[in-house]
Structures are given as structure tokens and as C-alpha cells.
Amino acid sequence: MKATEAAALPVRPGEDPWTPEELAQVRNQLQSEIAAQREELRESEDELADRLTDPVEGAGDDPADVGAKTFQREHDLALAYNTRDLLAKSERAIEQMDAGTYGVCDSCGQAIGKARLQAFPRATLCVTCKQREERR
Ligand SMILES: [Zn+2]
């Protein structure tokens, strides 16, 4: 990204504009997380597939055993769901960097703020909107 493009991204009043280096740092962090999240999803899908084809040990007549397996499967599915959600948010953040719309609050359209994005690169709401959402 060119310096002019980085500097064109929104920041909060009082914040210095993004430098290409700062943006590259956030981007690299997101990209390494995307790689890890993709790997995690691939593994959990493999595990789920394995478990589906696995014959249930001991004929699976014990209801507690079946219950534990069901719980484990639901737990895995929930984890995969969360990872997929994070992955989608990471990818969206990168797309927004490319489009020059990174750092705009989804709710109010104001700048999310550079400091907040450096701490939470996937943030889609400014602090004010985030707090309002959490109170609901
Ligand atoms: Zn907002």
C-alpha cells in the first residue's frame, strides 16, 4: 500500500494518520491469523469427518457414551463456527484495507480509531457503538 493510501484511512480526532508500516503490521497479523484459522478449520473438519465414519466403540449402547460423543461433536461444531466467523472478519478487514474503507464504524460511519484497530484488527464498531451494543 502506498503512503497516500494508508494516510487516507480514517482515524479518530487527535490520532496521527496511518503510516504504511503501521498498516503493514496490522495486515501481517491478520494474514497470519487467517492462515492459522484456515488450518484450524481444515483440521476440525477432518476430525468431524473421521468421527462420522468411526464405528461407535462398544456398540454405542451406553446412553452416557452416546451423550458424551454428541456433546463433543456439538462442541467441535461450535468451535468451527467461531473460527469460521473470525476468519470471515479477518478476510473482510483485509478487503477493506485494499478498498481503502478499513476503520470505518459499521454503525455510525465514524472512524473506529487507529489505536483500537491496532489492538483489535477485526473491530467493526467504534468504542461508543460497541458499548451501546453491549448494553442491549
Ligand atoms: Zn460507531
DSSP 104: B
Ligand 1 centroid to Cα of residue 99, in Å, is 19
Instruction: Please report the pLDDT score of residue 51 as a whole number.
Output: 75
Q: Which residues of 35-63 are buried (b: 16+ CB within 10 A; e: fewer)?
A: eebeebbeebeeeeeeeeeeeeeeeeeee
Ligand 1 centroid distance, CA of 130 (Å): 7
* CA distance to 8, 97, 110, 129, per residue, from 11 (Å): 9, 13, 9, 16
pLDDT (tens, 9 = 90+) of the chain, 136 residues, equals 566 789 999 999 999 999 999 999 999 999 999 999 999 999 988 887 887 776 655 555 677 888 888 888 888 889 899 999 999 999 999 999 999 999 999 999 999 999 999 999 999 999 999 999 998 7
- Residue 47 Cα, ligand 1 centroid: separation in angstroms? 40
Extents of the domains making up the chain? 13-100
Tally of helices (H runs) and strands (E runs) in the chain: 5, 0
Question: What is the DSSP code (8-state) at residue 57?
Answer: G
Q: How far is the CA of 98 from the centre of ligand 1 (A)?
A: 21
d(C-alpha 83, C-alpha 80), whole Å: 5
